[in-house]
Amino acid sequence: MKRDSNFIGKSQLVTQLRELALQVADTEITVLIIGETGAGKEVLARFIHANSRRADKSFIPVNCGAIPSGILESELFGHEKGAFTGAFQSRKGYFESADRGTIFLDEIGEMPLETQVKFLRVLETGEFQRVGSSDSVYADTRIIAATNKNMFQAVADGNFREDLYYRLRSVELQIPPLRERGPDILLLAEHFVHEFERKHGVIFEGFTHEAGELMLRYPWPGNIRELRNLVESLLILEKGKRITPEILEKHLIQRSRHKSLVHEPAKQDNQELNIIYRSLIQLRQDINDVRQLLERLIEERQERPLLLPDNTARIQSSASNPVTEERASGTSGAVNSLDDLEKKTIAETLAVCEGNKRKTAGLLGITERTLYRKIKAYGL
């Protein structure tokens, strides 16, 4: 059996994980890998593949979260010529391309529900249909899936099929976050130092003892990916220096600053959400105002079947909108048909919204286009 040496780690957690991975590697069993981003899920999947009898066939990684849902299905299962606009010829999907090899479905928690149905069938029968075809295709593909999500939660929220989850987790491998791997942190750092010394043709002067201790205490939110990137920057930017805790801190702080910069757009998104949220509250308040106004009008109408001019005058005086004033002066104010009632309601709402057509249309539950049409028709 070929041993892939890239799955580094001597800590007890990793040793146990490696043993478990080797036990399942040579079976056909579906594996679900769970772990934080950057903790090495793909590395573990490749390790399993490399230690299986499929090792000399393809390993195809697919990021289910990165592919738009409409496209994911044809990417996975393939499609026939003419199945959709732009399908000029039929194409194999990843499942067929990975025949006798392994497909790695990363971020499986992001798989759209419609695709999950089809995927469950593949897991159960090994069969599927290309998009645009009813013929069944069979592929002998080993499936390894991974997620950094709490799948229980995804199932509870209705975003992931429960039957698929139970089917997938026949073997669940948990990758520990880097902060729980103790001495592996230094072992991995050393591994990356060698990798980047070779790549960049530089010699690394090493870490001081205190810097090593700081690395052991640091929580590594980005896990091994973060460590690898850190080592590469240290090698290039601190060339010829022995790395002290001060140098290390400077880089770790820079990285977290950089991270907060990366997150800035999300903040803007939040601000935008706040504005939308506030507008909704405002809109609800406006709807209540209009409802009260309408209730009052209806009450008045019940008292007097026809609206009298003095009533119109009241509306007119409360309206700062010339359009409404014009309307008010142009009508008798009497409501004697459904059209009149509609005209009046529109005029009233326009007045409440101070002539803002979008708000008016929103409150009346009609499109802006319809509103414009009615304004024109009623000569408002």
Ligand X SMILES: Nc1ncnc2c1ncn2[C@@H]1O[C@H](COP(=O)(O)OP(=O)(O)O)[C@@H](O)[C@H]1O
153 binds ligand X (CB under 6 A): no
Q: Residue 49 in 3-state DSSP?
A: helix
Q: Are 312 and 330 in contact (CB under 8 A)?
A: no
Confirm if 59 and 46 have CB atoms less than 8 A apart.
yes
What's the min distance (Å) between Cβ of 271 and ligand X? 30
* Residue 106 contacts residue 61 (beta carbons within 8 Å): yes
Stretch that binds Mg ion, among 41-49, 119-127, 174-182, 244-252 (CB under 5 A): 41-49
Query: Which lies closer to ligand X via its Cβ, residue 7 or residue 77?
Result: 7
Q: What angle do CA 187, 192, 197 make, to 5 degrees?
A: 130
- For residues 111 and 68, give the distance between their C-alpha atoms in angstroms, rounded to a whole number: 10
Q: Measure Cα distances from 81 to 89, 115, 162, 252 in Å.
A: 4, 20, 34, 51
Residue with tokens 């690394």: 204
Helices (H), 98-241: 113-125, 151-156, 162-168, 184-200, 209-217, 223-237
Stretch that binds Mg ion, among 39-47, 179-187, 352-360, 364-372 (CB under 5 A): 39-47
CB of 183 to ligand X, least distance (A): 13
Residue 291 in contact with residue 349, Cβ under 8 Å? no
Q: What is the chain's length?
A: 380
Residue nearest to Mg ion (CB): 42
Q: Which is nearer to ligand X, 218 or 378 (CB)?
A: 218
Partner in contact with 40, chosen from Mg ion, ligand X, none, beta carbon below 5 to 8 Å by kind: ligand X
Contacting range for Mg ion; rule: CB under 5 A; set: 35-43, 206-214, 346-354, 366-374: 35-43
| Backbone angle region of 43, left / alpha / beta, with phi > 0 → left and psi within -120 to 50 → alpha | alpha
Contacts with ligand X in 206-225 (CB under 6 A)? 224-225
Q: For helices 338-352 and 245-303, what crossing angle results, to 10°?
A: 140
Q: Name which position in 4, 42, 238, 342 contacts Mg ion (CB under 5 A).
A: 42
Closest CA to 259 of 234, 216, 222: 222
Q: Which does 15 bind (CB under 5 to 8 A by kind): Mg ion, ligand X, none?
A: none
From residue 24 to residue 53, the character string flagging contacts with ligand X as x (rule: CB under 6 A) and all else as - is -----------x-xxxxxxx----------
CB contact at 8 A, 161 and 117:
yes
**225 contact choice in Mg ion, ligand X, none (CB below 5 to 8 Å, kind-dependent):** ligand X
Cβ 281 to ligand X, closest distance in Å? 40
Q: Determine contact, residues 175/17, Cβ cutoff 8 Å.
A: yes
Nearer to Mg ion, 42 or 197 (CB): 42
Q: What are the CA-CA distances from residue 28 to residues 53, 90, 169 (Å)?
A: 10, 29, 13
Binding at 38: pick from Mg ion, ligand X, none (beta carbon under 5-8 Å per type): ligand X
Q: Which amino acid is at 351?
A: A
Closer residue to Mg ion in complex, CB, 42/326: 42
Closer of 146 and 315 to ligand X (Cβ): 146
Looking at beta carbons only, is 50 or 297 nearer to Mg ion?
Answer: 50
53, 92, 228, 255: which one binds ligand X (CB under 6 A): 228
Name which of Mg ion, ligand X, none residue 186 binds, using a CB cut-off of 5 to 8 Å depending on partner kind. Answer: none
Tell me, by CB under 6 A, how many residues bind ligand X. Answer: 15
Which positions touch Mg ion (CB under 5 A)?
42
Which positions touch ligand X (CB under 6 A)?
6-9, 35, 37-43, 224-225, 228
